[in-house]
Chain A
Amino acid sequence: MIEMNNVYKVYENGVTALNGISTTIDNGEFVYVVGQSGAGKSSFIKLMYREETPSKGQVKINHVDIGDMKDKQVPYLRRSIGVIFQDFKLLPKLTIYENVAFALEVIEENPRKIRRRVMDVLDKVGLKHKARFIPAQLSGGEQQRVAIARAIVNNPKIVIADEPTGNLDPDTSWEIMRIFEEVNASGTTVIMATHSKEIVNKIRRRVIAMENGQIVRDEHRGEYGYED
């Protein structure tokens, strides 16, 4: 469970990105975060995997305040959260297999388990047959599926995606959404910031709408709600 309690985020340059946010996201929910550019969606999301810390207020995950968590604890928090970005962030010199295995190697997972888990997750995103390719040999949608595979290979409780379809055409976006729905169906919380009206209005889930660093609307089975 993710709880935010009257959270403010003021960046070093004085910009107030979050202006008193309070909300709760239960385990297993699927949440869209929408709002215009600069509304604070990314800032909101970054607090959840402690890329940023709140200037004021608390961010709790499973009742643990991650704002004043010790630096040493952060890696363990991150192991329970998978993060996906608009620009995939794959390592260009590694193969698809290696890109996914990387996430397990660097947390010192048992080498004997790695191969099997990587192949399983590549199968889940439909890229088992391209395991030996490098990212440049894949389409954008395929690269994003690799990034999702890397994010979920350690079976995280929460998956956070910041505009995962932002660089993809509509058809490819639907493939990505199908994977997120499967991930969510298996019990994982999914939180996704998006500008895609089509997706939000078609696959109806909880919608948190932001404006000027505040939550202005929070609806179950909500709609995108405005024109970009």
Chain B
Amino acid sequence: MKISTLKRHFKEGAKNLIRNSWMTVAAVGAVTTTLVLVAAFLMLMLNLNQIADNIESDADIRVFIDLSAEEDDIDELGQNIGDLNRVEEFYFSSKDDELESLIEDLGEDGEAWELFEQDNPLNDVYVVETYEAEDLAGVASTIEGFSNVDDVDYGSETVDRLLQFNQYARYIGITFIAALLLTAIFLISNTIKMTITARRDEIGIMRLVGAKNSFIRWPFFVEGMLTGVIGAVIPIALVLGGYHFLYINLNDRLNFQFVELLPWNPFAWQLSLMLLAIGAFIGIWGSVMSVRKFLKV
């Protein structure tokens, strides 16, 4: 396509936007709302995934051995654990090792525990790692059935709840976003339908003098695309500014929990680019819908 033609299509597309200014505001507003929600959703989901990954990657199973177990029992239990095929590796940690690391972990508060060095109340422990984080729960419950096992712990609550929340958030988010996307597309296609109606005479003359169909359609695609792109402006500003704010204020706090947010650069930029693409896409889709319906040859 010639540059002059492309310029004309953009000029006409922009003119169309202005002509139906109220419908345009509604359509742009719908795109904006949709994209803000998409952005919030993606920020939450992708970070939760990242956090879940962080936690999962250093999650392991702690098998607390019965205080009454003899050395033979302990060896046998070890063998049984080693025979499980989802187990990647495991090691034995005596109650003395456990107490030592507890005192170390707690720092100054740990000094109180030093009193117990004479009469250690802790259990001996097997620390078990699985190949995949998803295997933790299954392996833990199998081990719970073995004899001489007092208790099994795999930090289940945190990971399970996070994964569960992630799942729910995903369903709810996707439903909402799908509904909003459809609304935005519908509003855009309606706006463009009105433009097509308003320009019927003009389109008739274009046909009469031999304009190609693609030429007649282009300005409407441009109109849709511009609606989508303009609708992406506020969401992108929110992502670039808002995520910066969140990152600065939350990340240090989360760091204590051995958890990290996705870094602002490049995450916020990638997300912005994605919003722009989604905006343009729903805009073009909306226009394709009404052009197909109302601009029959």
Contact = CB atoms under 8 A, between A and B. Distances in A.
> Do A and B associate with each other?
yes
Contact of A111 (B4, B202, B207, B211): B4
A209 interface: no
B115 interface: no
Given A91-B202, A106-B206, A75 B211 contact: yes
B121 interface: no
Interface stretch (A53-61, A77-85, A122-130, A219-227): A77-85
Given A78-B208, A106-B206, 14 more contacts: A49-B208, A71-B297, A72-B212, A74-B297, A75-B207, A75-B211, A76-B210, A78-B209, A102-B205, A105-B8, A106-B209, A106-B216, A107-B211, A154-B209
B125 to A, nearest CB: 77
Interface string A98-117: 00001101111001000000
Contact of B209 (A71, A72, A111, A150): A150
Contacts of A72: 212-213
Interface in B115-167: none
A146 to B, nearest CB: 12
Nearest to A99: B205
B210 A75 contact: yes
Interface residues on B, range: 10 to 19
B2 interface: yes
Contact of B215 (A77, A102, A103, A108): A108
Interface string B5-18: 10010000000000
A71 B211 CA distance: 12
A89 interface: yes
Contacts of A108: 2, 5, 215
Interface residues of A, number: 21
Given A71-B297, A75-B213, A91 B205 contact: yes
Given A71-B297, A111-B4, A79 B209 contact: yes
A165 to B, nearest CB: 19
B297 A107 contact: no
17 contacts: A74-B297, A75-B207, A75-B210, A75-B212, A75-B213, A78-B210, A79-B210, A89-B204, A89-B205, A91-B201, A91-B202, A102-B209, A103-B209, A107-B211, A107-B212, A154-B209, A154-B210
A89 B200 CA distance: 11
B89 to A, nearest CB: 68
Interface string B176-195: 00000000000000000000
Contacts of A75: 207, 210-213
Contacts of B5: 108
A64 B234 CA distance: 55
Contacts of B8: 105
A79 B206 CA distance: 10
Nearest to A83: B208
Interface centre among B204, B209, B215 (most CB of A within 10 A): B209
A208 to B, nearest CB: 23
